[in-house]
A = this chain, B = another copy of it.
Amino acid sequence: MKETKFVLDEKEMPTSWYNILPDLPEPLPPVLHPGTGNPVTPDDLAPLFPMGLIMQEFSPERYIEIPEEVQEIYRTWRPTILHRAHRLEKALDTPAKIFYKYEGTSQAGSHKPNTAVAQAYYNKKEGIKRIASETGAGQWGSSLAFACALFGLELKVYMVKVSYNQKPYRRIMMETWGANCVPSPSPDTKAGRDMLAKDPDCPGSLGLAISEAVEDAATREDTHYSLGSVLNHVLLHQTIIGQEAMKQMEMANAYPDIIVGCIGGGSNFAGMFLPFVKDKIRGRKPDLRIINVEPTSCPTLTKGLYAYDFGDAAGMTPLLKMHTLGHEFIPPAVHAGGLRYHGMAPIICHLHKLGLVEARAVPQVATFEAGVTFARTEGIISAPETNHAIRATIDEALKCKESGESKTILLAHSGHGHFDMAAYESYLSGKLTDYEYPEEKVKEALAHLPGTPTV
């Protein structure tokens, strides 16, 4: 019998998150206060986040225990399964061994609940009654709605208006879990009202939705703000993925030569590769390749500048040292909504600068071609974001076919595409197009960087 799945019992689920900060060969550049130019302090962040999360953002501890209440909810869907893609390997006629860790069996359908549950827990624990957040197409908003339902927290989600109107199903998911979801710009905040006064038909943007959620949280005593990617504590929570994968690769008597994942803000893929990059840093597996895959339409890591920039479009957040296309950058409306972000998790950018991870941009049509191949072999219809990682996985497997090498590839599969069928229809009917971001437009967007403050 060929082994198809590597399944951990819930008793074998990791009980700590792995924190890369103490293992970095060079320390991460500090987050800066936009006014003073000084590194932000925990107190600076206290109006928006609970102290439990803020301390994780800066923690020097290698392992941070997962609270039992969080573990208990993780266990409703975790550990997730590591699959061996026998059928895909056969279809590609490759000597490569392809494994994929599938996060699509969470109740919200992706990796996002790994951090949503943790964030809801720490807010609840510190007496917060209500959370405000933003969402684009709805992956993050629905995951946070799931988590808030389980902890009995109120949730208000500012959803980009164009998605609110065109993609109602993720909104209905949020409402089913009890969240209040409004189209952004909304009349509920000053930022929203100002925009509506200027342009009543404004379709909204993620940047504006962030501004509304941050304002909501900053102006209400009972409310905090929550972010679904980019920050250190978000990546930390996602390391449950990579730690499980390590145990499961051991069950398979294998260790990856190549790890592949898609990056938007970077939390899913970092969650997978951070426990492995530790092995690379320590010399256990110096030739391990870690491939970050992004869309050519939003080429943050491959074409962006490594500089200090705001995390949001409105310029309200602290300054992060990261690869950025400029916080005013508006990516084209490709189907991988989760990969349309102007910046990138500072941890990933730092590892990229240190030469520990690499980056690759792939065009949209080729990602759906890969996704359909995956659906017709492994059966899973994947999220458009994930299709980027599948594209690079297939490309690496085909290289193995040419070279005759039997490399072991580990794919971080972030979730299913059940709410993205319109994108598949567009591909299948030949209407999908590619979009390569022009060099000049990148330069133009980068001209508006805030510049590095003097520390």
Contacts and interface: CB of A to CB of B under 8 A. Distances in A.
Interface of A: 1-5, 7, 9-11, 72-73, 75-77, 83, 87, 105, 107-109, 146, 149-150, 168-169, 172-173, 175-178, 372, 375-381, 418-419, 421-422, 424-425, 428
A381 B175 CA distance: 11
A4 B425 contact: no
Contact of A379 (B1, B146, B424): B146
Contact of A424 (B1, B11, B172): B172
Contacts of A5: 10, 75-76
Contact of A175 (B175, B379, B425): B425
Given A107-B378, A418-B418, 11 more contacts: A1-B11, A4-B72, A5-B10, A5-B76, A7-B10, A146-B379, A149-B379, A150-B379, A176-B372, A176-B381, A177-B375
16 contacts: A4-B72, A4-B75, A7-B7, A7-B9, A76-B87, A105-B105, A107-B379, A149-B376, A150-B377, A150-B379, A172-B422, A173-B424, A176-B375, A176-B421, A176-B428, A177-B376
Contacts of A1: 11
Given A107-B381, A146-B379, A418-B109, A172 B425 contact: yes
Nearest to A2: B72
Contacts of A425: 168, 172, 175
A173 B376 CA distance: 11
A375 B179 CA distance: 12
Give 6 closest A-B pairs by Cβ, nearest first.
A107-B379, A418-B418, A169-B421, A4-B75, A172-B421, A149-B376
Q: Pick from A75, A178, A378, A428 the residue with the most CB of B within 10 Å.
A: A75
Contacts of A10: 3-5, 7
B428 A175 contact: yes
A179 to B, nearest CB: 11
Given A72-B2, A168-B421, A172-B421, A178 B9 contact: no
Nearest to A426: B172
A424 B107 contact: no
A375 B372 CA distance: 30
Given A172-B425, A172-B428, A107 B11 contact: no
Contacts of A73: 379
Contacts of A175: 424-425, 428
A422 B176 CA distance: 11
A73 B378 CA distance: 9
Nearest to A86: B72
Nearest to A117: B379
A113 to B, nearest CB: 8
Nearest to A3: B10
Contacts of A108: 379
Contacts of A9: 7
A429 B261 CA distance: 39
A148 to B, nearest CB: 10
Contacts of A105: 105
A192 to B, nearest CB: 23
A312 to B, nearest CB: 29
A178 B372 CA distance: 9
